Amino acid sequence: MKVSKGILGEENAALLGAIAITKIYQAAMSRADTKEEDREDFYFYVDEFQNFATDTFDEILSEARKYRLNLTIAHQFLGQLSTQIRTTVFGNVGSMVSFRVGGEDAGILADEYNPRFSERDIINLGVREFYCKISIEGELREAFSGRTQDMTFPEKDISRECIELSRKKYCKPLEEVEKILSQWEEGVEILDEDQKNKNSENSRSPGINKVDEFAEFEAPLI
């Protein structure tokens, strides 16, 4: 979903992004009555995170993980985040990997790596060098240093195969998607084949039922 400030304007982009984030948060929280083992992973990527770091996102960082909402958030430097959001981020991180950063960020990260590594150590990291601390079975281990491996490349380009596999697993025909969206806008229940079979087994009357909550979708990877 593109919410570029250059195209939409700053206020419109912020509003549209906030609405989308709230909807995703509500969808995650609706899994409360779903058994933990039945909750499927959902991956949520947010670029320019500082533009969407609202109170709702503070709640997502604190609560959504148990509902299998996996976050990847990206921004340039920690100073772009409010103190509250920054505290929440570090408070919910068990494992951390840090490459070389600027002086201000190094001062903040040094608190996470003390007493093993200092602010100066973080600033002076070389290319591809990093510091890491990890949590194993709930126990935080001592921080250590490392260096990334050389990139490897396959002998042949398999990107098309990956895209086709993703499409076969996650995508639906355009006509079917448009039908689902139309039903969603009208506020009717959308049933997949498993739900239809289950309802049939329970001898529920056929037809379309009104629902208060919106349906949950699994987005394609590509």
Q: What is the pLDDT along the chain (222 residues), one digit of tens a residue?
A: 777 777 777 788 888 888 888 888 888 899 988 998 889 898 989 888 888 887 778 888 888 888 988 888 898 899 888 888 888 888 888 789 999 999 899 999 999 898 899 999 999 999 999 999 988 887 888 899 999 988 888 788 888 999 999 988 888 888 888 888 888 777 766 555 555 555 555 555 444 444 444 444 444 444
As a whole number of angstroms, the distance between CA 20 and CA 70 comes to 16
Q: What is the C-alpha to C-alpha distance for residues 121 and 8, in angstroms, rounded to an integer? A: 42
pTM over 0.75: no
Contacts of 100 (CB under 8 A, 6+ apart): 122, 123, 124, 125, 126, 127, 129
Side-chain half-sphere of 160: how many Cα atoms within 13 Å?
2
Please report which residue ranges of 53-192 form alpha helices under DSSP H. 55-63, 83-91, 103-113, 119-123, 159-170, 174-185
Residue type, 173: P
Quote the tokens at residue 62.
């604190």
**Residues linked to residue 72 through DSSP beta bridges, in sequence order:** 45
Which residues, including other chains, have CB under 8 Å from residue 31's CB and lie 6 or more apart? 39, 67, 68, 216
> To 10 degrees, the CA torsion angle through 129, 72, 2, 86?
-90
| Residue 171: both structure tokens together | 């995508």
3-state SS assignment for residue 202: coil
Q: Any idea what DSSP says for residue 32?
A: G
